[in-house]
Amino acid sequence: MPRRLAITGPHRVEVLEYTDPPLGPRQVLVRTEIASGKHGTTLALFDNVNFRGQRFDQSMRLFVPEEGEPPSGQRPMNTGTSGVGVVAQVGEEVTRWKVGDRVFGLMDIRETNLCAEDALWPLGSLDPHLALCVEPAYVAFHCIRESPVRWGDSVAVIGLGAIGLLAVRMAATAGAELVVAVDPIARRRQWAADNGADCAIDSATQDAALEIHRLAGGRGVDVAIEAAGTYAALQTAIRAARITGTVCSAGFYQGEAQGLWLGREWHHNRLNVVVPHGCGWGHPPRDYPRWDEHRAYDAIIALMRKGVLTAPGLIDPVVPLDQGPEVFRWIEHEPTKVLKFAVRF
């Protein structure tokens, strides 16, 4: 039987066997070569604080009381977001793909993935490691577009996971005059400095917001992108933005807010706040219908193929499936070992 990497309980990731359901008429079965997942979102799902006793009603866009079942061996949750592989089987109505095509797209970390035919792209000459960045790039892309970052703007990115690091790269290529990266982990700061950041600040040893103001001539940055998913990072973004500046809140915050001083810079600087598309689910981009999910992914992939969007060395480490649970231990307890992990099959 094929195997997968799955969340089976609070702070527990295991390798499980599974059985694929029957192939739908417009589905493609992909034999996975390499796959990756998010760190912060997965860690948040370990405790699932926001959904404890609550369900998000899509019609009302409102959390309502409802007890749900936590993940378990019988009800596992996915750990993956993107993958690369070879088409092994196609549904009877599929026209875009044939057996043997090498493709990439939104996939779980499992040996085989059942995918909608329009949720895959041809790999071609694209580096498979760069292809694995397509899902976090989707969030970073909307951080830049919806903030919006314009030619000559100053930008700070607080939190350098995969989304934050790709936002640094995109802000630099979008024409930002100043890009500042903020994170407590030296390895992440170095990647940012090598890929577009003009300055990288250690948030563990410096007052990052104060340093950002100094770098931006005292006034703060035009756009502060929060990508760490912590309230402390959001407070830093609020303090870093100039008067009437924009705070792009991309983080997946857990539990009740603590450490936010909304009577200080938030109130006195009359800030604009954007929660970009790609955070949450069930809604289109702000400029829909001119832009939809497919156009955004197509644009990101086109920029990758042109060499505009690059991510050298971002996928690290790459491990076999059986080492997957250990990687999640690293993410929680030894984060300096991981930039963005991948599992090779």
pLDDT above 90 (res 150): yes
Q: pTM of the prediction? A: 0.95
Same domain, 187 and 75: no
Cβ atoms of 183 and 200 closer than 8 Å? yes
- The CATH number given to whatever domain includes residue 75 is 3.90.180.10
**Number of domains comprising the chain:** 2
Q: Using CB atoms within 10 A of its CB, is residue 99 exposed (0-12), middle (13-18) or buried (19+)?
A: exposed
pLDDT above 80 (res 31): yes
Same domain, 166 and 111: no
Reported confidence tier of residue 336, pLDDT bands at 50, 70, 90: very high
Task: List, for residues 217-256, the tens digit of each pLDDT value.
Answer: 999 999 999 999 999 999 999 999 999 999 999 998 988 9
pLDDT the model gives residue 229: 93
- How far CA 193 is from CA of 38, 162, 241, in Å, comes to 22, 14, 21
Reported confidence tier of residue 280, pLDDT bands at 50, 70, 90: low
Euclidean distance between CA atoms 56 and 188, whole angstroms = 33
Task: List, for residues 1-12, the tens digit of each pLDDT value.
Answer: 999 999 998 889
pLDDT above 90 (res 270): yes
Q: Per-residue DSSP letters for 269-315?
A: TT-EEE--TTSSSS---TTTTTS-HHHHHHHHHHHHHTTSS--TT-E
Euclidean distance between CA atoms 5 and 325, whole angstroms = 8
Mean pLDDT computed over 168-196: 98
Q: What is the largest CA-CA distance in the chain?
A: 62
Residue at 135: amino acid letter: E
- Chain mean pLDDT for the chain: 94
Domain assignment of residue 293, yes or no = no
Range of the domain at 124: 3-133+311-344
- The CATH number given to whatever domain includes residue 217 is 3.40.50.720
| Domain final residue pick, 274, 296, 319 | 274
Tokens, residue 314: 């971002």
Task: List, for residues 53-91, the tens digit of each pLDDT value.
Answer: 888 888 898 889 987 777 777 889 999 999 999 999 999
- How far CA 248 is from CA of 149, 157, 164, 287, in Å, comes to 10, 9, 11, 16
pLDDT the model gives residue 125: 97
